[in-house]
Amino acid sequence: MEKKHKFETEAIRTQMERSQYLEHSSPLYLTSSFVFEDAEDMRASFAEEKDRNIYSRYSNPNSSEFVEKVCKMEGAEDGFAFASGMAAVFSTLGALLRSGDHIVSARSIFGSTHSLFMNFFPNWNISHSYFQVDELHTIDDMVTPQTKILYAETPTNPGVDVLDLEELGKIAKKHNLILIIDNCFASPYLQQPIKFGADLVIHSGTKLMDGQGRVLAGITVGNAELIDKIYRFSRITGPALSPFNAWILSKSLETLAIRVDRHCENALKLAEFLEQHEKVNWVKYPFLKSHPKYEIAKKQMKAGGCVVAFEVKGGLEEGRKFFDSIRLLSLSANLGDTRSIVTHPASTTHSKLSKEERKAVGISDGSVRISVGLENISDIIQDIAQALD
Ligand SMILES: *Cc1c(COP(=O)(O)O)cnc(C)c1O
């Protein structure tokens, strides 16, 4: 989709055609279906001779507006909007894979995506191999004639590792694989993987895109031919985003740039504070010079994102104690929200994994993940400081 203006301008000015009422801001089309002039109009519409809305499982003006904005932000040709980030992940892969196919994926991926690969895809004879995030050189040997997709996220959750998108793009091209990047942690404002060779980009709109903890949403954008396959699968299987949530999301994107700027500013300040704190072993944030992939992060991201990971000295007990001492920030599972959120993966989200499995995805007993919100940074630091004390 052609981008005529700068990012912030497109985020605000990309808008569906105005109705007869000449509303300034886009209206909400809370309708399940659309009407036809006559039999011929209906026939031509179903035959796809006309580009128009038929039924909101296929398309709706609100979801189309949301998709158009994200396509411009990501430099993508086309897209489809889903009811959640996981609906986007599942429907994208479900549309492109068939029995016997193989996925090569980074090991550090979102928990539910990992579970899809481990517990459900084998039922349909779809297999996968995992590479470690800093061992991209091992990918070549994992590729088989059945490999169809190269899959990764960057920055990763909850380890905040960074993968070299340019390198992944080259590997995908060499082996003729479809490169899919879950760009949720960066948002389209900070990083556009298509520039580095990604064929498809997936987002959970639930996170930074809405950024206000209100709705679930997902989206896949990228190569038009691939999106057409995903669209055909999705209009039959029904994971479409509701018009109401699409309307919310499209509004949210108007403030994405300004929100993410502040998230990143706050996150960097918190990371710098933690780095010199005596009760902290290490801090990981893509735009800290001490991050092992600092140079790569600088190359592919505009700023470091909203998530900071660090390790409290001690072990599981100290980690829990820190977590229990938090007063202002939320103990919750979301991220990218206006409200800062603290999680202790070892005792919560990743407690079912063995210690070795946790180590493989970069989680130690004292690991803490903070999604830095938009409260005043001095209050955020104050709460963390008193909990560490
Ligand atoms: C949250 C998340 C998802 C899933 O999104 P939902 O909207 O919760 O379904 C996928 N990938 C990443 C990286 C996420 O953080």
SS (H, E, C) 258-325: HHHHHHHHHHHHHHHHHHCCCCEEEEECCCCCCCCCHHHHHHHCCCCCCEEEEEECCCHHHHHHHHHH
Q: State whether the beta carbon of 153 lies less than 6 angstroms from ligand 1.
A: yes
Q: How far apart (Å, rounded) are the C-alpha atoms in residues 163 and 186? A: 12
226 with 271, same domain: the answer is: no
Assess whether 23 and 92 both reside in one domain: yes
Q: Is the CB of 208 under 6 A from ligand 1?
A: no
Distance from residue 46's CA to the centre of ligand 1 (Å): 33
Residue 317 has pLDDT above 90, yes or no: no
CATH number assigned to the domain comprising residue 380: 3.90.1150.10
DSSP-assigned letter for residue 17: P
CATH number of the domain where residue 247 is located: 3.40.640.10
Closest ligand 1 atom number to CA of residue 109: 13
> What's residue 232's pLDDT?
97
Ligand 1 atom 12: residue of nearest CA: 110
Three-class SS of 137-197: HHHHHHCCCCEEEEEEECCCCCCCCCCCHHHHHHHHHHCCCEEEEECCCCHHHHCCHHHHC
Does residue 72 have its Cβ closer than 6 Å to ligand 1?
no
Is the beta carbon of 81 within 6 A of some atom in ligand 1? no
What one-letter code names the amino acid at 250?
S
The mean per-residue pLDDT over the stretch 95-102 comes to 98
**Is 56 a member of any domain?**
yes
Please state the rounded mean pLDDT for residues 193-203. Answer: 98
Tell me the pLDDT tens digit for each residue of 298-307.
Answer: 999 999 999 9
- Among 82, 84, 86, 212, say which to mutate for ligand 1: greatest number of ligand atoms within 8 Å of CB: 86
**Any atom of ligand 1 within 6 Å of the Cβ of 111:** no
Q: Is the CB of 207 within 6 Å of ligand 1?
A: yes
Cβ 212 vs Cβ 338: under 8 Å: yes
Q: Is 1 contained in some domain?
A: no
Q: Is the CB–ligand 1 distance for residue 106 below 6 Å?
A: no
Q: Is the CB of 182 under 6 A from ligand 1?
A: yes
Q: What ligand 1 atom has the least distance to the C-alpha of 184?
A: 13
Same domain, 249 and 269: no
- What's the pLDDT tens digit per position in 354-372? 888 787 777 888 899 999 9
Task: Look at residue 363 in the predicted model and tell me its pLDDT.
Answer: 82
Percent residues over pLDDT 70 in the chain: 100
Do 209 and 264 share a domain, yes or no?
no
Ligand 1, pocket-test mutation among 107, 206, 252, most atoms within 8 A of CB: 206
Structure tokens given for 275: 């780095």
Q: Write the residue with the smallest CA distance to atom 8 of ligand 1.
A: 85
Of the three residues 226, 253, 280, the one that is the final residue of a domain is: 253
Single out the residue in 207, 234, 253 at which a domain terminates: 253
Distance, in Å, from the CA atom of 316 to the CA atom of 320, rounded to the nearest integer, reads: 6
The separation between the first and the last C-alpha atoms of the chain, rounded to the nearest angstrom, is 51
Residues 287 and 243 in one domain: no
Tell me if 126 CB under 6 Å of ligand 1.
Answer: no
Q: Is the pLDDT of residue 158 over 90?
A: no
Work out the average pLDDT over 333-350.
89
183/239 same-domain check: yes
Q: pLDDT tens digits for 163-173? A: 999 999 999 99
Whether 148 is in a domain gets the answer: yes
Instruction: Mark whether 58 and 184 lie in a shared domain.
Output: yes
Alpha-helical segments (H) within 23-163: 39-46, 61-74, 85-96, 111-115, 139-142
pLDDT, average across residues 95-99: 98
Report if residue 186 sits inside a domain: yes
Q: Is the CB of 157 under 6 A from ligand 1?
A: yes
Model confidence at 79, in pLDDT bands (50, 70, 90)? very high
Which residue segment(s) compose the domain that 141 sits in? 7-253
Cα 254 to Cα 285: distance, rounded to the nearest angstrom: 26
C-alpha of residue 158 to centroid of ligand 1, in Å = 12
Other CB atoms within 10 A of residue 54 CB: 18
203 CB less than 6 Å from ligand 1? no
Query: What's the gap in Å between 88 CA and the centre of ligand 1?
Result: 9
Q: Same structural domain for residues 13 and 141? A: yes
User: Is residue 2 domain-resident?
Assistant: no
68 and 182 in a single domain? The answer is yes
Question: Would you say residue 265 lies in a domain?
Answer: yes
Asked if residue 350 has pLDDT above 80, the reply is no
Whether pLDDT at 336 is above 80: yes
Contact 192, 162 (CB under 8 A): no
> Do 337 and 373 meet the contact criterion of CB atoms below 8 Å apart?
yes
Task: Single out the residue in 199, 221, 253 at which a domain terminates.
Answer: 253
Q: Taking 90 as the threshold, does the pLDDT of residue 345 lie above it?
A: no
Chain position carrying tokens 């990228």: 222
The answer on 309 and 212 residing in a single domain is no
Return the amino acid letter for 273: F
* 172 assigned to some structural domain: yes
The answer to whether residues 218 and 337 belong to one domain is no
* Mean pLDDT, residues 312-326 taken together: 88
Is 82 close to ligand 1, i.e. is its CB under 6 Å away? Answer: no
- Over residues 231-245, mean pLDDT: 98
pLDDT at 278 > cutoff 80? yes
How many domains would you assign to the chain? 2
Q: Does 325 reside within a domain?
A: yes
Q: Are residues 228 and 100 in the same domain?
A: yes
